[in-house]
Amino acid sequence: MPDLISKTPLGVVDYLFLAETSHVARAKLLAALAQTLPITAVGMVAGLSFAFLLAISARMFPGFIKTFMPIALVTQTMPLVALTPLLVLMLGRGYSVTLWITISVTFFPAFVLLVQGIQRVPQSVLDLPRAYGASAWKELRMVSIPAALPYLFAATRLTVPRALLGVMIAEWLATGTGLGNLLNQSRGYLDYGMIWTVAAVSVCLSVAFYYAILMIERRTLTRLGMQMVE
């Protein structure tokens, strides 16, 4: 019984490539990946963009963060199992609900990191554009945002696995597509081989995306003479 339920890495390889039904399993997995990965990329970019705009707003309008933070905390503490039905009622079961759920689980940590990065710019650095009469927006664009680049990369690293998780949760609970739906269907069919395969593939994808961004971050920051945010 344990061999039926649990799978080792070799068991996953055997299920995908060596078993008689491997071609069917691979076809299902590739079809699910083709649905999940594009919306994951879009959701990650949307979450980071939303967090970036909020961080800029918090810098330009200091009172904004005091108003927005309680709302953001409520959205982060509300269980997705309770939030998803409300989003489905408002947005339907298409890609829009997946996008909103992905943004919900990704923007907050990115927002906190970006606000921290923008606020940590040394005062001595800000004094120079102010001495030349630069506007608040020009100061932000020329000094604060470039100085916060390490925090943007750190936020991207943090967002990648959360984006994939958010998409899979939406697929499981709402849309009936992609890896999340494949995992849900496999659970219903007691197809433990596919369950462990989806789990292994999602973990490997998250790790691969994380280290790809880490490599880009190291090269970019080294070229610019900046230090990484650990």
pLDDT at residue 230 in the model: 63
DSSP state letter for 190 = T
Tens of pLDDT, residue by residue, the chain (230 residues) = 445 555 666 777 777 877 777 888 889 999 999 999 999 999 899 999 988 888 888 877 777 777 777 777 777 777 777 777 777 888 877 788 888 888 888 888 888 888 888 888 777 667 677 776 767 777 777 788 888 888 889 889 988 888 998 899 888 888 888 999 999 998 888 888 888 899 889 999 999 999 999 999 999 888 877 777 76
At 65, list the tokens: 């963060």
The total number of structural domains in the chain stands at 1
Give the residue from 218, 228, 216, 110 showing the smallest Cα distance to 163: 110
pLDDT at residue 1 in the model: 46
CATH of the domain at 39: 1.10.3720.10
Query: How far, in Å, CA of 160 to CA of 209, rounded?
Result: 7
Please, are residues 111 and 162 in contact by the beta-carbon 8 Å criterion? no
Is residue 42 in a domain?
A: yes
Contacts of residue 99, Cβ cutoff 8 Å, sequence gap at least 6: 39, 42, 43, 46
At 207, list the tokens: 């790790």
Contacts of residue 202, Cβ cutoff 8 Å, sequence gap at least 6: 164, 168, 179
Is residue 157 in a domain?
A: yes
pTM for this prediction: 0.82
Is residue 23 in a domain?
A: yes
Is residue 230 in a domain?
A: no
| Structural domain harbouring 36 | 2-224
CA of 166: how far to CAs of 110, 114, 200, in Å? 14, 21, 17
Is residue 97 in a domain?
A: yes
Query: How far, in Å, CA of 199 to CA of 205, rounded?
Result: 10
Query: How far, in Å, CA of 33 to CA of 198, rounded?
Result: 10
Please, are residues 197 and 11 in contact by the beta-carbon 8 Å criterion? no
Is residue 121 in a domain?
A: yes
Query: How far, in Å, CA of 114 to CA of 99, rounded?
Result: 21
At 133, list the tokens: 């009469």
Is residue 229 in a domain?
A: no
Query: How far, in Å, CA of 30 to CA of 49, rounded?
Result: 29
Is residue 119 in a domain?
A: yes
